[in-house]
Amino acid sequence: MSDLINIAVDAMGGDGSPKKIIDGIIHNHTSNRENFFKIFGQENEIRKYLDKKIDKDFYQIVNTENIVKSTDSPLEAAKRGKDTSMWLSIESVKKKESDIVISAGNTGALLVIAKLNLKMIENIDKPALSAIWPNKKGMSVVLDLGANIECNSKNLVDFSIMGASLYKSLYPTQKPKVALLNIGTEELKGNEVIKETFKILNEKKNSEFEFLGYIEGNELMNGEVNVIVSDGFTGNVALKTAEGTANFITDELKKALSGNILGKISSLLNFSNLKKFKKRLDPRLYNGAIFIGLDSPVVKSHGGTDFIGFSNSIDVCNRIVKNSLIKKIRDNIS
């Protein structure tokens, strides 16, 4: 079916693969018939979980005996060979046989193999790892989350444009509002790179997004900004801090509501609100980091997520392709 979105899937990456990956594909297919899955991995294992659960018009299996291991260094993964499920799934988008690639495998290996296979979008020097975070008013795109430890002002300007393009692809009806993650909101705060980036973005207005200046770490979730830009070191620390804080709050709440009879009664009385709270912090809803800046999009699902989380990453793939992320970046960067 030529009108379907072609998604290359590395079925062998992440915990519980390939069952988790195939279960995620099946779950997604029950509600969305817009995707065709080109599944790379060990065919005998894949067919155990896939046969007769999806019409054959919606998938193809490409048998690959070798896999990239979670313990492989990026260099080891690249040397392991061009016949691994990860390499061949990425090569599929390189050859324009697929529109996008998704893997739950080794993050470092995925980034290196993607960079070896795919070209950069013209005028972009470095790709960035981005993700979706919840905020009080909806969702935010945050980048870079670890692909580039050191960045110059041009890199951060490029990240702003790419992040805004990604946000517009995921949420077409909303206008991106961009800010730089900094240690203060005053113009004089921060290092020379971030101050230079502020100056460039403030002077060179972009019609595709609104630049709102600086944002501090304690404002990330307030919803006033929906595209947050930083270098990879700062962004990764912010990500891990946010994840740790969310886990701490959830765990402490569970303890408080199950530790004694009063807590159990309270949890019963507030069941509906607690259910909403749990859903809001459910990491599966925000699963799917996006490696952008390359001429084809690469999506990284969290290795430890379950099939629901992987299914949500497939939704991210669908929206990115359907709303022409790469074209948006090309148009805006020029």
Q: Tokens standing for 188?
A: 């004089």
pLDDT single digits (tens) 189-207: 888 999 999 999 998 877 8
**In angstroms, rounded to a whole number, what is the distance separating the alpha carbons of residues 66 and 135?**
40
**In angstroms, rounded to a whole number, what is the distance separating the alpha carbons of residues 282 and 197?**
34
Question: Are 129 and 143 contacting, i.e. CB atoms less than 8 angstroms apart?
Answer: yes
The alpha carbon dihedral of 215, 220, 225, 226 has a sign of positive
**In angstroms, rounded to a whole number, what is the distance separating the alpha carbons of residues 15 and 301?**
11
Mean pLDDT of the chain, nearest integer: 87
**In angstroms, rounded to a whole number, what is the distance separating the alpha carbons of residues 304 and 15?**
6
pLDDT single digits (tens) 123-163: 999 999 998 888 888 889 999 998 889 999 999 999 999 99
Q: What is each CA distance from 324 to 12, 158, 188, 331, in whole angstroms? A: 28, 18, 37, 11
**In angstroms, rounded to a whole number, what is the distance separating the alpha carbons of residues 132 and 301?**
12
The alpha carbon dihedral of 316, 104, 67, 63 has a sign of negative
Domain ranges of the chain: 1-124+293-303+313-323, 125-292
pLDDT of residue 263: 52
Question: Are 212 and 179 contacting, i.e. CB atoms less than 8 angstroms apart?
Answer: yes
Name the architecture of domain 1-124+293-303+313-323: 3-Layer(aba) Sandwich (3.40)
Q: Tokens standing for 252?
A: 């402490």
Give residue 65's Cα distance to chain centre. Answer: 27
Helix axes 153-170, 307-322, angle to 10 degrees: 100
pLDDT single digits (tens) 90-131: 999 999 999 999 999 988 899 999 999 999 999 999 999 998
Helix axes 192-203, 153-170, angle to 10 degrees: 60
Q: Does 1 have pLDDT greater than 60?
A: no
The pTM of this model reads 0.86
Q: What is each CA distance from 42 to 19, 46, 65, 195, 243, in whole angstroms? A: 11, 6, 5, 50, 33
DSSP 176: -
Q: What is each CA distance from 111 to 45, 175, 211, in whole angstroms? A: 26, 29, 29
pLDDT of residue 281: 58
pLDDT single digits (tens) 218-228: 898 888 999 99
300 bridge partner residues? 103, 289
User: Percent of the chain beyond pLDDT 90?
Assistant: 57
**In angstroms, rounded to a whole number, what is the distance separating the alpha carbons of residues 142 and 165?**
12
Rounded to an integer, the average pLDDT of 242-264 is 69
**In angstroms, rounded to a whole number, what is the distance separating the alpha carbons of residues 123 and 158?**
9
Rounded to an integer, the average pLDDT of 1-12 is 89
- Residue found under tokens 């970046």: 329
Helix axes 261-269, 271-280, angle to 10 degrees: 80
CATH node for 125-292? 3.40.718.10
68 bridge partner residues? none
- The yes-or-no answer to whether 1-124+293-303+313-323 and 125-292 have a common fold is yes
DSSP 313: H
- Choose among 86, 93, 37, 88: nearest CA to 303: 86
Give residue 131's Cα distance to chain centre. Answer: 4
